[in-house]
Amino acid sequence: MSASAHVATNERVAEVTADVIAALHEVLERHQVTEAEWLAALAYLTEVGRHDEFVLLSDVTRTSVLIDALSHQAEDPDVTASDVEGPLYRDDPPWRERPVKIYEEYEGMGDGDVLFVSGRVTSSDGSPLPGAVIDIWQTGPDGGYDLWDSRQPAYNFRGRFGVDESGAYEFQTMLPRPYTVPTDGPVGRYLEMVGQHPWRPAHIHFKIEADGHERLVTQVFFPDDPYLENDTIGAVKPALVRAVTRHEDEEELAQRGLDSPFCTCAFDIRLRPAARA
């Protein structure tokens, strides 16, 4: 047996990293990077790992958006556009029974509008997917995730739920607000050094699964947000911006059991059938 037969290589890794290294060397040469600068860069990346911020770094450098675009067929009008997941998904969110409400009020909760999001989950040909499961995570009216805000119950503004026989769903939440990605760690220092603001437009994250279909991870945005054109992770897609309607009519409020105006937003979801093996 020859010596090379003992070496198990991964061709894909070998091919891609060879190009990564060539590109890196070219940049280091072009900028005449010094030994001290290179060691500082390595120490910085070590810190990013220690703080578990590599996904965040990928997001704010808009690398996650590029990978999303490379991984999903662009602009297919028959399916809902995908978007990046970000680092704030939590495993094992609670199952929410109908009528679905994904939050509890908490001490000191900021003012905001109740929002009902509804739509249908279908296949790309429009046929309903009654077995679909929707998983939501978002910030509330204070602009903070449950993970960052000790006043909120665990898993607040998160939850999984099913759809009905026609693929229809509705859930009650509150209109989210723009917020900043975490800035207290090494990625926050990077943003400051390069002069990039940390804000994201208000959005709701969706993860949808249905048998025989590709899983979809996406986000919904709202018009007139000050950061719609200037998301720090560059993840806004025009196809994912959905109108919000405000309802002030007394009868509608009574039907919903509410005593102040509320908002609605429609978001139909079309999934791509999985490729057959």
Q: For residues 144 and 167, which CB has a smaller minimum distance to ligand BEZ in the complex?
A: 144
Q: Whole-number minimum distance, CB 133 to ligand BEZ, in Å?
A: 20
Among 53, 72, 82, 87, binds ligand BEZ (CB under 6 A): 87
State the nearest-atom distance from the C-beta of 157 to ligand BEZ, in Å.
Answer: 11
**Neighbouring residues of 39: CB distance < 8 A, sequence distance ≥ 6:** none
User: Whole-number minimum distance, CB 206 to ligand BEZ, in Å?
Assistant: 12
Number of H helices, E strands in the chain: 6, 12
Residue nearest to ligand BEZ (CB): 86
By CB under 6 A, which span of 82-90, 113-121, 161-169, 170-178 interacts with ligand BEZ? Answer: 82-90
Q: By CB under 6 A, tell whether 59 contacts ligand BEZ.
A: yes
On whether the CB atoms of residues 244 and 220 are closer than 8 A, the answer is no
Range list of H helices, 61-215? 63-71, 186-194
User: Tokens 């070219």 belong to which residue?
Assistant: 26
Closest CB to ligand BEZ among residues 163, 191: 191
Q: Which is nearer to ligand BEZ, 87 or 93 (CB)?
A: 87
Q: Name the DSSP letter for residue 79.
A: S
Which stretch, 84-92, 148-156, 164-172, 238-246, contacts ligand BEZ (CB under 6 A)? 84-92
Q: Give the integer Cα–Cα distance in Å for 213 and 209.
A: 7
Query: What token pair was written down for 244?
Result: 């919000």
For the bound state, the minimum distance from the C-beta of residue 247 to ligand BEZ, rounded and expressed in Å, comes to: 27
Question: Which lies closer to ligand BEZ via its Cβ, residue 87 or residue 188?
Answer: 87
CA distances in angstroms from 45 to 18, 54, 191, listed in the order given: 20, 9, 14
Asked if 181 touches ligand BEZ (CB under 6 A), the answer is yes
Stretch in the footprint of ligand BEZ (CB under 6 A) among 66-74, 85-93, 101-109, 188-196: 85-93
| Interaction between residue 140 and ligand BEZ (CB under 6 A) | no
Strand segments, DSSP code E, in 81-202 are 100-101, 114-123, 133-138, 158-162, 168-174, 179-180, 199-200
Q: Which of residues 197-256 bind ligand BEZ (CB under 6 A)?
A: 200, 233
Asked if residue 262 lies in contact with residue 116, where contact means CB atoms within 8 angstroms, the answer is yes
The answer to whether residue 188 forms part of the interface with ligand BEZ (CB under 6 A) is no
Alpha carbon distance 183, 175 (integer Å): 23
Binding site for ligand BEZ (CB under 6 A): 56, 59, 86-88, 181, 200, 233
